[in-house]
């Protein structure tokens, strides 16, 4: 019997205060958020407003400490079958992406965020040797990565072009789902890091006055665990699926301050709209599960449907998930309004009650197609890796051609490149077609060879029997050899013709 330990039933809120940046220090800005006692999760903003959270991390607290104190234990709940959500919330430039580690570059350092650290722990647990009593589970791990940009959901792990990565969302019995979202089977932390980097590279990011690498979209990176466990000694088995979401929200910003215009302004309006809907959901949930349990408070309407962001986070807020909100704030005086607003949201979130429960198990009978799905997912994942490598190779091979085009094209460089690109694309296409034809030929030829061999032998044997059955042999040894060679030549010609022209007609004659 597994010991499930304690499971928090309210949203956990950790506030992280980033250090003042070198520009802020150079600009004479100072710190207006005080943590009176680093051992207590309490802080004072602007010398007056006091807040207490699950944890408070000051500017000198390391990434490792944030992970160890707030994240590790809930990440491991994932392996027990709980859904877990970790959300980074806060103003633009406050440290959300830094804390989550969404822009991880593949090198593990002290600066790496909680996501790569969690992946290491997950794979350590998944690959741990089984317990001797046979009660251990076996696990399969998958990952997905999506982006919510201007109220549109994009699949960040799809190999298709941006337009074709667009996905819809809908509700079913399991809650809100994103049909068609790529879920890749992964077998190590390193492999998952690579997908994280592939996805993060296509995320919408743009420099703004507030953050030179500001994220213009919300992202959700999900680790999915499929665990199989024996239910009793007579070999019954069940399967449980649990999910861990890392939500890196885009930051709220004031247009006046960020001086956004054009595309940046349009993005920021959508970002603020989504965050406003999220704020409303947090307020409604907080008042319905807060201490004043009056009837009217308990029945507060929670408007999840106001934005895609709140629909996607429905299960994380007020659902069956164990949820940690990392509220990131800037300590600088000029950001105090935004910081106080984040702290008030975070304070409200603290009283949201979730109903964490292990996801229901399905017996292997119920999930008879599980093994097949697993096998197909593995194949898809392998093909995706292969495809990715091919793309990189093609890109590397195209680069010199493009550079040559740039160097050579003084006039109409764009047109020249486009023509070059079309030409290379055409060549690539015909190589692929040629290779497909070759494969088809090879397999038909293999097939033909297998069937022709007995025919040749049969014909030779008949010829030999006819000859040896005659009273007097009319053929000399040389004539006999020539006869055999003729038969072989005829079949070889047929075989080669098949190799060259694998038509449907040939195939049907061979089948
Ligand atoms: N705790 C920290 N320690 C050191 N540097 C930090 C910390 N938090 C944030 N930073 C730095 O501050 C800058 C802004 O952080 P980040 O990009 O994570 O902000 P963000 O909240 O994701 O902003 P946006 O909403 O615009 O995407 C980055 O250069 C990051 O490295
Ligand atoms: Mg960010």
**CA distances (Å), 81 to each of 240, 435, 480, in order?**
6, 46, 77
292 is in an annotated binding site: no
**Which strands make up the sheet holding 33-34, listed edge to edge?**
33-34, 42-45, 49-52
Asked if the model's pLDDT at residue 431 lies above 60, the reply is no
Residue of minimum CA distance from atom 2 in ligand 1: 18
Q: Report the pLDDT value the prediction gives residue 22, as an integer from 0 to 100.
A: 94
Q: DSSP secondary-structure letter at 252?
A: B
For residues 67-80, give the mean pLDDT.
Answer: 95
Give 128's pLDDT tier (boundaries 50, 70, 90).
confident
What's residue 510's pLDDT? 38
94 is annotated as contributing to ligand binding: yes
For 12-289+298-362, CATH number out of 3.40.50.620, 3.40.850.10, 3.40.50.700, 3.20.20.10 equals: 3.40.850.10
From 89, 211, 258, the mutation candidate for ligand 1 (largest count of ligand atoms within 8 A of CB) is 211
User: Is residue 317 helix, strand or coil?
Assistant: coil
131 class by beta-carbon count within 10 Å (0-12 exposed, 13-18 middle, 19+ buried) = exposed
Q: Which residue, judged by its Cα, is nearest atom 9 of ligand 1?
A: 95
> ∠ CA 156-387-368 to the nearest 5 degrees?
75
Full-model pTM: 0.73
321 versus 397: the higher-pLDDT residue is 321
Q: How far is the CA of 177 from the centre of ligand 1 (A)?
A: 30
Distance, CA of 155 to chain centre: 8
pLDDT in tens, 131-166: 766 667 889 999 999 999 988 999 999 988 888 899
**In sequence order, what are the residues at sequence separation of 6 or more whose Cβ sits closer than 8 angstroms to the Cβ of residue 107?**
none
Question: 211 in ligand 1 pocket by Cβ < 6 Å?
Answer: yes
Stretch 467-478: mean pLDDT, rounded? 58
Winning range, highest mean pLDDT, from 87-96, 132-141, 372-381, 424-433: 87-96
- Which is higher by pLDDT, 193 or 270? 193
Mean predicted confidence (pLDDT) in 359-369: 63
96 among the known binding-site residues?
yes
Nearest-atom number in ligand 1 for the CA of 18 is 1
Q: Which ligand is nearest to the CA of 210?
A: 1
Q: Mean pLDDT, to the nearest integer, of 178-206?
A: 91
Residue 311: exposed, middle, or buried by beta-carbon count in 10 A (0-12, 13-18, 19+)?
buried
Residue 405's contacts (CB-CB under 8 Å, 6 or more residues apart) are 413, 416, 417, 420
- On whether 93 is known to bind a ligand per the annotation, the reply is yes
> What is the model's pLDDT at position 223?
97
Query: Is 213 close to ligand 1, i.e. is its CB under 6 Å away?
Result: yes
Q: What is the pLDDT of residue 511?
A: 35
The rounded Å distance from CA 24 to ligand 1 centre is 13
65, 68, 70, 71: CA torsion to nearest 10: 130
Whether 63 is in the pocket of ligand 1, judged by its Cβ within 6 Å, is no
For 150-154, 207-211, 377-381, which range has the lowest pLDDT when averaged over its residues?
Answer: 377-381
How far away, in angstroms, is 184 Cα from ligand 1 center?
A: 29
- How much is the pLDDT for 175? 82
Q: Give the separation between CA 457 and CA 446, rounded to whole angstroms.
A: 17
The whole-chain average pLDDT of the chain stands at 80
Residue of 21, 87, 93 to mutate, ligand 1, most atoms within 8 A of C-beta: 93
Q: Is 268 in the pocket of ligand 1 (CB under 6 A)?
A: no
pLDDT number for residue 132:
65
Tell me if 19 CB under 6 Å of ligand 1. Answer: yes
Lowest mean pLDDT among 229-238, 311-320, 492-501: 492-501
Query: Which of 64-73, 252-261, 308-317 is most confident?
Result: 64-73
pLDDT at 449 over 70: no
Beta carbons of 463 and 473 less than 8 angstroms apart: no
Q: Please check if 482 is assigned to a binding site.
A: no
Q: How confident is the model at residue 509 (pLDDT cuts 50, 70, 90)?
A: very low
Higher pLDDT, 74 or 171: 74
| For residue 297, pLDDT beyond 60 | no
Task: Give the residue-averaged pLDDT of 188-213.
Answer: 86
Domain boundaries, the chain: 12-289+298-362, 436-503
Number of the ligand 1 atom closest to the C-alpha atom of 208: 26
């Amino acid at each position: 019997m597994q010991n499930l330990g304690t499971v928090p039933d309210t949203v956990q809120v950790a506030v992280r205060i980033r250090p003042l940046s070198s520009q802020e220090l150079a600009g004479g800005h100072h710190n207006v958020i005080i943590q009176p006692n680093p051992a207590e999760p309490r802080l004072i903003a602007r010398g007056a407003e006091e807040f207490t959270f699950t944890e408070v991390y000051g500017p000198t607290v390391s990434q490792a400490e944030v992970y160890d104190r707030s994240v590790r234990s809930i990440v491991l709940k994932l392996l027990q079958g709980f859904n877990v959500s970790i959300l980074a919330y806060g103003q633009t430039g406050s440290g959300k992406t830094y804390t989550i580690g969404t822009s991880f570059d593949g090198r593990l350092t002290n600066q790496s965020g909680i996501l790569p650290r969690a992946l290491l722990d997950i794979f350590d647990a998944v690959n741990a040797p089984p317990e001797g009593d046979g009660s251990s589970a076996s696990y399969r791990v998958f990952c997905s990565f999506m982006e919510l940009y201007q109220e549109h959901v994009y699949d960040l792990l799809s190999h298709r072009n941006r337009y074709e990565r667009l996905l819809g969302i809908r509700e079913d019995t399991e809650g809100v789902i994103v049909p068609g979202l790529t879920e890749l089977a992964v077998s190590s932390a390193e492999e998952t890091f690579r997908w994280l980097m592939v996805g993060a590279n296509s995320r919408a990011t743009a420099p703004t006055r507030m953050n030179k690498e500001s994220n213009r979209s919300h992202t959700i990176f999900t680790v999915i665990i499929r665990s199989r466990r024996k239910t009793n000694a007579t070999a019954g088995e069940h399967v449980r699926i649990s999910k861990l979401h890392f939500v890196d929200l885009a930051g709220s910003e004031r247009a006046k301050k960020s001086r956004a215009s054009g595309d940046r302004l349009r993005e920021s309006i959508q970002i603020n709209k989504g965050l406003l809907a999220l704020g409303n959901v947090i307020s409604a949930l907080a008042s319905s599960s807060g201490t004043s349990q009056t009837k009217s408070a308990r029945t507060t309407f929670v408007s999840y449907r106001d934005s895609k962001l709140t629909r996607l986070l429905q299960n994380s807020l007020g659902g069956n998930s164990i949820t940690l909100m990392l509220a990131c704030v800037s300590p600088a005086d000029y950001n105090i309004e935004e910081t106080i607003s984040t702290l008030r949201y975070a304070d409200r979130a603290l009283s949201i009650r979730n109903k964490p429960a292990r996801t229901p198990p399905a017996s292997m009978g119920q999930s008879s197609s599980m093994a097949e799905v697993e096998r197909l997912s593995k194949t898809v994942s392998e093909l995706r890796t292969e495809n990715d490598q091919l793309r990189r190779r093609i890109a590397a091979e195209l680069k010199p051609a493009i550079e040559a085009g740039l160097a050579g094209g003084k006039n109409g460089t764009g047109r020249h490149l486009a023509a070059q690109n079309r030409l290379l694309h055409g060549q690539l296409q015909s190589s692929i077609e040629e290779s497909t034809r070759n494969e088809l030929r090879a397999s038909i030829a293999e097939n033909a060879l297998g069937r022709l061999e007995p025919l040749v032998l049969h014909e030779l044997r008949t010829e030999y029997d006819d000859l040896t059955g005659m009273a007097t042999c009319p053929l000399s040894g040389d004539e006999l050899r020539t006869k055999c060679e003729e038969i072989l030549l005829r079949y070889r010609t047929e075989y080669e013709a098949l190799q060259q022209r694998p038509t449907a007609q040939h195939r049907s004659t061979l089948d």
